[in-house]
Amino acid sequence: MPIYKMKGSKDGLQKYRIRINYHDISGNARQIDRVAYGLDNAKELEMRLNHDIKKAAPARKMTLQKLYNEYADTKRHEVRESSLDKSKSIWQRYILPELGEYQLNKLTLPILQKWKLDIANTGLAQQTKKNVYGEFHTLLNYAVKMEYLPNNPLDKVGNFKDKLAVKK
């Protein structure tokens, strides 16, 4: 990453601009600009910024399956075994077979909308569909909490709606 020499100095040290280019967790191009005085300070700042960005990079490669494994281990200590079994059953039957190999940053709106449509066409009861959505939403909220995702992409898709009933 480049270090640019700039006009100006402070306490006898030359002014430098450090510019770091990278891709965030969503795949968008990002840039960090910082100013440091003295070449040694500029190089140290550049190394520290690069280290911070690389430290966050493994989350970018995390798949939904890996997230599920981590979440299940965490949830095991927070809920009863029967609740965990119900959740695991939903994940393994309705979520992971179709989306388990996707990286978290690749879960786009069209992919999630297609998943929702596939669930809608399975013939499940309305409440079961809502339960499946709820489990998936909770899993992605965990990813947001752990800072693997900037926000929950399932929020934009929305839950299953009840069909309008004819009132008498």
Structure tokens at 76: 């095991």
Judgement on whether residues 91 and 43 belong to the same structural domain of the protein: no
Is residue 18 assigned to a domain?
A: yes
Total domain count for the chain?
2
Question: Lowest mean pLDDT: which of 1-15, 54-68, 119-133, 141-155?
Answer: 54-68
- Quote the pLDDT of residue 25: 61
Sign of CA dihedral 91, 97, 99, 101: positive
Judgement on whether residues 134 and 85 belong to the same structural domain of the protein: yes
Judgement on whether residues 28 and 81 belong to the same structural domain of the protein: no
- Quote the pLDDT of residue 1: 59
Q: Binning pLDDT at 50, 70 and 90, where does residue 162 land?
A: confident
Q: Binning pLDDT at 50, 70 and 90, where does residue 147 land?
A: confident
pLDDT in tens, 93-128: 999 999 989 888 888 899 999 999 999 998 899 899
Place of tokens 């075994």: 81
Question: What is the average pLDDT across 39-55?
Answer: 87
Is residue 152 assigned to a domain?
A: yes
Is residue 167 assigned to a domain?
A: no
- Quote the pLDDT of residue 91: 92
Question: Lowest mean pLDDT: which of 11-20, 24-33, 78-87, 130-139?
Answer: 24-33
Sheet of 13-23: strand order equals 3-10, 13-23, 29-37
Is residue 168 assigned to a domain?
A: no
Structural domain boundaries enclosing 8: 3-60
Structure tokens at 121: 């066409």
Average pLDDT of every residue of the chain: 87
150, pLDDT greater than 70: yes
Q: Are 157 and 139 in contact (CB under 8 A)?
A: no
Q: What is the DSSP letter of 121?
A: T
29, pLDDT greater than 90: no
**Angle, alpha carbons 68-30-146 (nearest 5°):** 25
Judgement on whether residues 48 and 70 belong to the same structural domain of the protein: no
Q: Are 153 and 112 in contact (CB under 8 A)?
A: yes
Does the pTM surpass 0.75? The reply is no
Judgement on whether residues 82 and 148 belong to the same structural domain of the protein: yes
Judgement on whether residues 95 and 53 belong to the same structural domain of the protein: no
